[in-house]
Structure 1
Amino acid sequence: MNKYLFTLLLSVAGTTTCFAQANIIPAARQTKTIAITGATVHVGNGTVIANGTVVFSGGKILSVTANGQAPQDDVLVIKADGKHVYPGFIAPVTYLGLAEFASVRATLDFTEIGNFNPHIRSLVAYNTDSKVPPTLRSNGVLMAEITPEGGTISGSSSVVQLDAWNWEDAAIKTDDAMHMTWPVIPQSGGGGGRRQQILPPELLAERRLNAINELEQFFSEAKGYAAISKPTVTNTRFAAMKHLFDGKQQLFISADTQKDIVASVNFAKKFNIRPVIVGGNEASLVTDFLKENGISVVVREPHTLPNSTDDDVNMPYKNAAVLANAGINVAVSIEGYWQQRNLPFMAGTIAAWGLDKEKALSTITLNTAKVLGIDKTTGSLEAGKDATLFISTGDALDMLTNHVEKAFIQGRDINLDNLHKQLDKKFSEKYGMKAAN
Structure 2
Amino acid sequence: MNKYLLTLALSTLSAVTFAQATISPAKKQTQTIAITGATIHVGNGTVIENGTIVFSNGKIVSVTAAGAVPQGGAMEIKAAGKHVYPGFIAPVTNLGLAEFESVKATLDFQEIGNMNPHIRSLIAYNTDSKVPATLRSNGILMAQITPEGGTISGSSSVVQLDAWNWEDAVIRTDDAQHINWPVLPRFRGGFGGGRGGMGAFNPEALQERRNAAIADLDAFFAEAKAYSEAKPDVVNTRLAAMKHIFDGSEKVFITANSQKDIVAAVNFAKKYGITPVIVGGEEAYLVTDFLKENNISVVIKQPHSLPSSLDDDVNMPYKNGAILANAGVNVVVSIEGYWQQRNLPFMAGTVSAWGLDKEKALSTITLNTAKVLGVDKTTGSLEAGKDATLFISVGDALDMKTNNVEKAFIQGRDINLDNLHKQLDRKFSEKYGLKVK
**Same structural fold, with TM-score higher than 0.5 when normalized by the shorter chain:** yes
Would the aligned equivalents of 1:94 and 1:145 in 2 still touch at CA under 8 Å? yes
Quote the sequence identity (%). Answer: 76
Counterpart of 1:404?
405
Measured in 1, the distance between the counterparts of 2:214 and 2:239 equals 18
Query: Aligned-pair distance for 1:132?
Result: 0.3
Would the aligned equivalents of 1:90 and 1:368 in 2 still touch at CA under 8 Å? yes
1:169 aligns with 2:178: no
1:210 aligns with 2:209: no
Which of structure 1's runs of 4+ aligned residues deviate more than 4 A?
Answer: 187-192, 194-197
Q: 1:312 to 1:234 in 2, by over 3 A?
A: same
Counterpart of 2:226?
224
Counterpart of 2:249?
248
Query: Aligned-pair distance for 1:2?
Result: 3.1
One-letter identity of the residue aligned with 2:27? A
SS in 2 for 1:432: coil
Would the aligned equivalents of 2:33 and 2:76 in 1 still touch at CA under 8 Å? yes
Counterpart of 1:322?
323
Tell me which moved more, 68-77 or 383-392: 68-77
Query: Aligned-pair distance for 1:48?
Result: 0.4
SS in 1 for 2:391: strand
1:365 aligns with 2:366: yes
Counterpart of 2:45?
46
Query: Aligned-pair distance for 1:23?
Result: 1.2
Counterpart of 1:201?
203
Counterpart of 2:144?
145
Counterpart of 1:345?
346
Counterpart of 1:29?
28
Would the aligned equivalents of 2:187 and 2:197 in 1 still touch at CA under 8 Å? no
Measured in 1, the distance between the counterparts of 2:251 and 2:241 equals 13
One-letter identity of the residue aligned with 1:112? E
Query: Aligned-pair distance for 1:74?
Result: 2.5
1:280 aligns with 2:281: yes
Counterpart of 1:311?
312
Query: Aligned-pair distance for 1:197?
Result: 8.2
Would the aligned equivalents of 1:38 and 1:69 in 2 still touch at CA under 8 Å? no
Counterpart of 1:394?
395
One-letter identity of the residue aligned with 1:334? I
1:130 aligns with 2:132: no
One-letter identity of the residue aligned with 2:97? L
Would the aligned equivalents of 2:188 and 2:309 in 1 still touch at CA under 8 Å? no
Measured in 2, the distance between the counterparts of 1:68 and 1:396 equals 24
Q: 1:393 to 1:375 in 2, by over 3 A?
A: same
Would the aligned equivalents of 1:116 and 1:154 in 2 still touch at CA under 8 Å? yes
For structure 2, list consecutive stretches of 5 or more residues without a partner in the other structure: none
SS in 2 for 1:391: strand
One-letter identity of the residue aligned with 2:223? E
Measured in 2, the distance between the counterparts of 1:2 and 1:130 equals 27
Counterpart of 2:104?
105
Measured in 2, the distance between the counterparts of 1:415 and 1:92 equals 23
One-letter identity of the residue aligned with 1:145? Q
Would the aligned equivalents of 2:118 and 2:154 in 1 still touch at CA under 8 Å? yes
Query: Aligned-pair distance for 1:136?
Result: 0.3
Q: Deviations over 1:241-285 (max 9, x none)?
A: 000111100000000000000000000000001100000000000
Tell me which moved more, 297-306 or 2-11: 2-11
SS in 2 for 1:386: coil
Measured in 1, the distance between the counterparts of 2:27 and 2:323 equals 43
Aligned residues: 431
Counterpart of 1:8?
8
